[in-house]
Amino acid sequence: MISTVGTALVLGGLLAAAFGAVVGIEGGLRHRPGALRIVLGAVTAFLVCMLGANLTMVYALVTHDFSVHYVAQVGSRATPLVYTVVSLWSALEGSILFWGAILSVYVFAFARAHRDHPPTNPLLALGTMLAVGVFFSFLIAGPANPFGRVTPVPPDGPGPNPLLQNHVLMVIHPPMLYLGYVGMVVPFGIAVAALLRGQLGDAWMAVLRRWTLIPWMFLSVGIVLGSWWAYAVLGWGGYWAWDPVENASFLPWLTATAFLHSAMVQERRHTLKLWTLSLSLGSFLLTILGTFMTRSGVFNSVHSFTQSEIGPTFLVFLGIVLVVSIVLIAVRGPLLVPEGSLGSIASRETAILLNNLLFAALTFTVLLGTVFPLVREAFSGVRISVGAPYFNRMAVPLGVAILFLMGVGPSLPWGRASPDTLRRQFVIPAAAGVAVALICLLAGLRGGLTLLTFGLGAFVAVVTFREMALPVRVRMREQQEPLARAVWRTATRARRRFGGYVVHLGVVLVFVAIAASQSYVVHTTATLTPGKKFQLGPYTAQLVGLRNGVDPHRRWIAAEVDVTDGAGRHRLLAPRMNFYERSTDPIGSPAIRSAAFEDFYLTLLAFDVNTPSASFNAWIFPMVSWIWWSLPLFVLGGLFAAWPERRRARADSTDRVPVPGDARSPGAAA
């Protein structure tokens, strides 16, 4: 019964998407405004079908209907309710179904938001997005159908992957990542519409930029949460391993970030149009590539590549999107004539252009390292992987250069900077950077690249705060406003600028945290019997004893360890090993003693209940938690920049904060 309902809904979604795609693209190409109403209907039908199919699956999961293939695969009567609902996206078929739901919500939201826009562009964009919807509903209806029927009906299922039930982060991290991934469909549709029409006006560009910002924000949050999860749950003592799955989420983030910057040049100078659009197309292509890599199992072995049913389908879709993108760029690209030119060498345009080149280089190197093993394996059959040192050696210099540009770009005016401006803009931040690096050196910290990162971090932070504070000061002086009001006014008058700088501060945090935690990490292993101690840095850890316990869906053994820090403060840590009833392998849970400047990280490696004794892995990670503290900044900055501006704000934008001399305060109009 549920199988039939689910499959019917998916097929309904497939029909609605196919119909809407054809009507939308045809209506857009022939400039038939009347088609918009029909397409809006198709979008709504697609939404209803996709949400319905997902709710049907959730219902099947919650009621433990093991006659449904997917439920028999991931369901279990012993799993707590939250994880049962979450198991909607804990395995392959369910996650593709969930993809479909998010896609339909995005398309619907886009359609609602731009109903009143001149209809040609929205028609083309919606048509393109629905065409992507056709692919995904085909995938759900065919190769990755979660609604298949199982006979005989099993009495119980294995439950979701234990790793995914081990931490609450697994409840939020995947949806965030999916929201980021799937959301890239929208800018793709917008960019394709611009290319099909052969023109990119300011209004459509603003639409493209906002709809890139939203998935970009989710993607940022998803990536940071993912690394947090890896750190807090997996217990291997790290947060980023340049694993293909991680790279898959990082690649579209890189191109989308590059886009958000080049879009500023596009809006300001009306040039780099084709490049900007290519970045949008590229971001979508990389999300599809990423989904292919993470969802088809190619990275486990060659065999799953040929056996996996969705792998080839995805590859075909990837090929189609790639060909369409290249053809559009080649045929329609020349129609996008630049209407302006770039400024001089010392200008913000140049800084952004360099930033884009660095992002492109970073994307290229990460992509190369990620797909190289696949290509090599496909041709020679040799199983290899590219080690983390490759990625570190390539990405660190590029990253440091990008950090440097984050301070340079906002300091430079659009157009041309006079030597005088340059001096005035750079002396104080550069001095601050040098001072911080020197202080760190005197404090006994070593490592050229690490100190450079700290110095550049200070440089960028000073520049960013200055650019945020300058218009506030002008407002306070000229409009006689109190501080809080002046801050709010400047922030809301230039939302994207303000949001962008908030995000920059978050990125500085991440850079500094990565540099510190990678350079100054300390590690040891030890095997203890009760009462025995080991020392790591200022910390002393003493084994108290082993304890076991039972939860509804698992049993666990914890080693209780009394950890004393340098100041003599005690804290009981209990790293555990969890045994899920239906899984033969134990899953560890690290215990972390987190402080503002360092984490003491303890994992239980092995234990012996008879002796008793326990073996530990212990690390000190300096400043690692600063990475997670960047999260609120990413969210705040992203929301602030993407928030729709009210009409009123546009009307009084003529009384923009007067800033003496455009060259002096270059950021004011960004």
Choose one: 262-270, 380-388, 401-409, 506-514; the region binding another protein (CB under 8 A): 380-388
Q: Is residue 489 a contact residue for another protein (CB under 8 A)?
A: no
Residue 353, both tokens: 């252009």
Nearest residue to 57 (alpha-carbon basis) of 45, 79, 42, 74: 74
CA dihedral 11, 17, 21, 22 (to 10 degrees): 40
Measured from the CB atom, is 393 or 423 closer to another protein?
393
Is the CB of residue 186 less than 8 Å from the CB of residue 110?
yes
Q: Residue 67 or residue 385: which is nearer to another protein going by CB?
A: 385
* Under rule CB under 8 A, residue 431 binds another protein: no
Cβ-defined contacts of 310-315 (< 8 Å, 24+): 310/92, 310/96, 310/139, 310/143, 310/144, 313/138, 313/139, 313/142, 313/143, 314/139, 314/288
- Distance in Å, CB of 236 to another protein, minimum: 9
Q: How far is the CB of 149 from another protein (least distance, A)?
A: 18
Evaluate whether 578 touches 166 at the Cβ level (below 8 Å).
yes
Q: Is the dihedral of CA 164, 632, 176, 278 positive or negative?
A: negative
**Residue 199 interacting with another protein (CB under 8 A):** no
Considering only CA atoms, give the Rg of the chain.
Answer: 27
Q: Which of 256, 605, 657, 663 binds another protein (CB under 8 A)?
A: 605
Residue 578: CB minimum distance to another protein, A: 10
Q: 518 to 537, contacts with another protein by CB under 8 A?
A: 525, 527
- For position 586 contacting another protein by CB under 8 A, the verdict is yes
Q: Specify the residue, 527 or 564, whose C-beta has the smaller distance to another protein.
A: 527
Looking at beta carbons only, is 160 or 500 nearer to another protein? 160
Q: Under DSSP, is residue 33 helix (H, G, I), strand (E, B) or coil?
A: coil
Kindly identify the residues of this chain, within the stretch 270-329, that bind another protein according to CB under 8 A. Answer: 297, 300
From candidates 214, 460, 558, 577, binder to another protein by CB under 8 A: 577
Among 393, 423, 532, 569, binds another protein (CB under 8 A): 393
Q: Which stretch binds another protein (CB under 8 A): 3-11, 212-220, 276-284, 378-386?
A: 378-386
Contact status: 378 vs another protein (CB under 8 A): no
Least gap, CB of 400 to another protein (angstroms): 16
Measured between alpha carbons, how far is 269 from 261 in angstroms, rounded to an integer? 13
| Closest to another protein by CB, 23 or 272 | 272
Q: Residue 440 Cβ, how far from another protein at the closest point, in Å?
A: 29
Q: Considering only residues 69 through 128, tell me which ones interact with another protein, judged by CB under 8 A.
A: 73, 91
Is the Cβ of residue 158 or residue 530 nearer to another protein in the bound state? 158
From residue 353 to residue 372, what is the string marking binding to another protein with x (rule CB under 8 A)? ----x---x--xx--xx--x
**Binding-site member from 11, 615, 639, 669 for another protein (CB under 8 A):** 615
Give, to the nearest 10 degrees, the angle between helix 202-229 and helix 273-295.
30
Residue 285 CA to residue 245 CA, distance in Å, equals: 16
Strands, E assignment, 529-668:
533-536, 539-551, 554-564, 570-573, 576-580, 587-589, 591-594, 598-608, 613-622
The nearer residue to another protein, 262 or 464, going by C-beta atoms, is 262
Quote the DSSP letter at residue 147.
Answer: T
Q: Taking CB under 8 A as the rule, does residue 168 contact another protein?
A: no
Reported as half-sphere exposure (CB side, CA atoms, 13 A), residue 62 has a value of: 10
Number of residues that bind another protein (CB under 8 A): 48
Residue 386 interacts with another protein (CB under 8 A): yes or no: yes
Out of 57, 102, 541, 557, the residue judged to bind another protein by CB under 8 A: 557
Smallest distance from another protein to CB 521, Å: 16
606 binds another protein (CB under 8 A): yes
Closer CB to another protein, residue 63 or residue 525? 525
- The reply on whether position 158 binds another protein by CB under 8 A is yes
CB of 235 to another protein, least distance (A): 10
Angle between helices 419-442 and 448-478 (to 10 degrees): 130
Q: Does 608 interact with another protein (rule: CB under 8 A)? A: yes
The tokens for 474 are: 């002008």
Tell me the window of 22-30, 155-163, 261-269, 650-658 that interacts with another protein (CB under 8 A): 155-163
The string of DSSP letters for 195-260 reads HHHT---HHHHHHHHHHHHHHHHHHHHHHHHHHHHIIIII-SS-S----HHHHHHHHHHHHHHHHH
Nearer Cβ to another protein (153/357)? 357
CB of 2 to another protein, least distance (A): 21
Answer yes or no whether residue 380 interacts with another protein by CB under 8 A: no
The owner of tokens 């793709």 is 188
What's the DSSP call for residue 68? B
* Residue whose CB is less far from another protein, 594 or 613: 613
C-alpha closest to that of 516 among 461, 598, 403: 598
Among 389, 566, 568, 661, binds another protein (CB under 8 A): 389
From the list 579, 645, 664, 669, which residue makes contact with another protein (rule: CB under 8 A)? 579
Does 383 contact another protein by CB under 8 A?
yes
Q: Which is nearer to another protein, 35 or 272 (CB)?
A: 272
Q: State which of positions 636-655 bind another protein (CB under 8 A).
A: none
Q: Torsion over CA of 20, 24, 27 and 31, rounded to 10 degrees?
A: 150
For residues 67 and 426, give the distance between their C-alpha atoms in angstroms, rounded to a whole number: 68
Phi first, then psi, for residue 346 (nearest 5°) are -85, 75
Say what the alpha-carbon torsion angle 297, 301, 304, 310 is, to the nearest 10 degrees: 40
Comparison of 454 and 556: residue with beta carbon closer to another protein: 556
Residue number with CB closer to another protein (98 or 204): 98
Instruction: Give the per-residue SS3 of 414-480.
Output: CCCCCHHHHHHHHHHHHHHHHHHHHHHHHCCCCCHHHHHHHHHHHHHHHHHHHHHHHHHHHHHHHCC
Distance CA 43, CA 37 (A): 10
Contacts with another protein by CB under 8 A lie at: 73, 91, 157-158, 160-162, 297, 300, 357, 361, 364-365, 368-369, 372, 382-390, 393-394, 525, 527, 555, 557, 577, 579, 581-586, 604-610, 615, 617
